[in-house]
Structure 1
Amino acid sequence: MTNTPKLRGMANVSFWAEDMKAAKEWYTKLLGVEPYFQSPDPDNPAYLEFRIGDFQDELGIIDKKYAPQAASLTGTGGATLYWHVDDVAAMLEVLKGLGAAEYEPFTERGVNWFTASVVDPFGNIIGLIHSPHYKEIWNSIHSA
């Protein structure tokens, strides 16, 4: 059998922030947990990492001064990572209540399929999705 290169799943998504202390406070409030890893230390973080969600996905926040030189970090981020939630409309309101700006309004995409997105106070896009596919995978893993 040949070992063929393939994408095996999201290992980490990283966002950028100029004010790391404010980012730590905002994301801790949003996620309801403290970062499990902070470097170089909790008082002066240049990198924060949270484990969140059903699969303990890694969300990293990196000080913007460490961005690759070629990165264009002016304005809102480019790609949107969608996080599965049970109620997109309710989570959209939670995020807006924390100061995030609506980027994409609540949109029905199909039967029991909804999306929305916001821009956090640091210019990163947070996508929200309720996807029947996510639920199918979750159920198949947990019904065995």
Structure 2
Amino acid sequence: MIPSAVLVHVPDVEKGLEWYKKAFPEAVPIYHSDIDFTVLDLNGFSIEIVQADEKVGAGKSGSVIYWYVGNLSAALAHFEALGAYLYRGPMEIESGLSMCQVEDPFGNLIGLRGKAT
């Protein structure tokens, strides 16, 4: 099995999509007109910004996807400049890497993992 997508639940899809486009500038927006839905394609992996509802709300409640970054400090500064804030860490882990979590403006967590240079 290979991961293919992450669904990020937000209270306002339009605002969420605009924020995530800035947060992941290398992702390519792909519009699916048949279902009126835009996904952000990141090297074949889809970041899908979807409407939070009564079954799955926005916010932190368990699973966190970690993104590998070449420079953890620079990545953290990038997300903070967009309005995310440091939620947990940074903390040292294996092989000279560090990790942290940031909280997006919608209450969701984004994990970052990489060299703490």
Query: TM-score by structure 2 length?
Result: 0.82
TM-score, structure 1 as length reference: 0.68
**C-alpha offsets along residues 3-35 of structure 1, whole Å, 9 cap, x if unaligned?**
xxxxx1211111101111211211111222552
* Matched pairs, number: 113
Which is richer in helix? 1
Runs of 5+ in structure 2 lacking a partner? none
Counterpart contact for 2:98–2:114, Cα < 8 Å: yes
Which of these residues, 6, 11, 20, is aligned with residue 27 of structure 1? 20
Name the larger-Rg structure. Answer: 1
1:62 equivalent to 2:50? Answer yes
Query: What residue ranges of structure 1 are gaps of 5+ in the alignment?
Result: 1-7, 42-46, 132-144
Whether contact under 8 Å (2:9, 2:58) holds in the other structure is no
Report percent identity of matched pairs.
27
More contact order relative to length (CA 8 Å, sep ≥ 6)? 2
Structure with greater proportional strand content: 2
Q: Are the structure 2 counterparts of residues 75 and 12 from structure 1 closer, same or farther at C-alpha, using a change threshold of 3 Å?
A: closer
Q: CA RMSD in A?
A: 2.1
Tell me how far apart the structure 2 counterparts of residues 50 and 80 of structure 1 sit (CA, whole Å): 18
